[in-house]
Chains A and B, each alone.
Chain A
């Protein structure tokens, strides 16, 4: 008995030492950035003489016929056959409607099982980044927003591989597939209470939101906890010229800049933050704050245009401020891509093409817009061509979002 305990204790010591050593020994290989294709040209011919020694990432690219190994013409019969052999596709998405799309896909292709994860944009970014760093290649399809991180991090590192079905090149304009194909656009607009403002939006110029009359009466999803709202503020700041023009239109003179505001864009954000906007914990709270039926007085708010669905149903009295200067809102994009080293690359391609065709149906509702020029907005929604919005510049947002958070917090809380 005593000896047994001794032997055991010796073992424990060994394990203890091993345990201490483990943190250092834990493998964290950083995959070499895969060679990225020229943006927007998935149809680029394959390089005629592949290098004799390929990295594992390149070997996978070659086998999957992606990136620089993409063929001149996509052979969809072959892709479909290979996809059915793979039998499965794992999708990382930021919308719960992925379940519906997955069910539709499996009805069309019973041989292929879809595992759709609804992670939410921020968590999808973290999951892909950590999986790739750890070499745990699980996901096949990226179907989510998170644009700033995609362009600042995931794409440069080769974690996401662009893929556009070549039969859709005519109906998807270059800006919607460069460098990743846009699955859909969502729109954040300035909205108002239609019940209390029968003559339309009380705001005609965004600079009104910085005036004393609207102090404490503008609602916004808390930018400090919602990264997408912070991204929208950053996008707004990037449109200095339009905001300067709107300033001139309202006050008849050029805006006077402060030492900490490089241009009229940042000046607007500063004045807006200083005018005590009301942060709300979630998107539902924002629209309920100014557009619940039966209110006595109401402010305005930045809200997702998809809430207009509830106006149609009679649950809310919200509409977008359509004529406001400089724009009615900002649109953000959700992208589709193949995840690096995916185990089911062909099923991933097939799923991407499906979502860009009939698989878009779950998202074809008020508030979402297809990237395809031949898919009109659903009935009741503002038509695509009348949508006067800025498109989020993901690269600018990636470079400036941290700075914007500091700037916003300082001006809001001091």
Chain B
């Protein structure tokens, strides 16, 4: 399978070559690709991730891995900032499930997803692992890309509905001021 056009709008940011010596690259750039696909995996509903994964394994065969850390559900304390940009405070917690796996070639993948779905966290971990290997272009085409497109489509629809409620208020001149 030919590598996909990696500059396409699949929401996965700059390309990161696994194993390349990228220590001179600033951290935010170096990790941008991985951050993007982890974000897509976390924000997509578990059913959709499972469906894309199924399609991928139907074509590529089952993928071998071992669980380094079995799926575990806990809480993340969500922080806000006073006034939106001031000092941090604790707003409340959100449930989160995490999982770590090691692929047959030794690559480690991590899944961190809001909610309590063990399946979601495990799938996210496996895909995160594979995205660091030579399988990345095929995963991008069959899993990450379609998931990112679905999220973007959903956002577009919401944005259009919201835009239809844009309002312009007019100030009435009071009688005594006329």
- Same complex: no
Residues of chain B touching chain A, judged by Cβ–Cβ distance below 8 Å, are none
Residues of chain A touching chain B, judged by Cβ–Cβ distance below 8 Å, are none
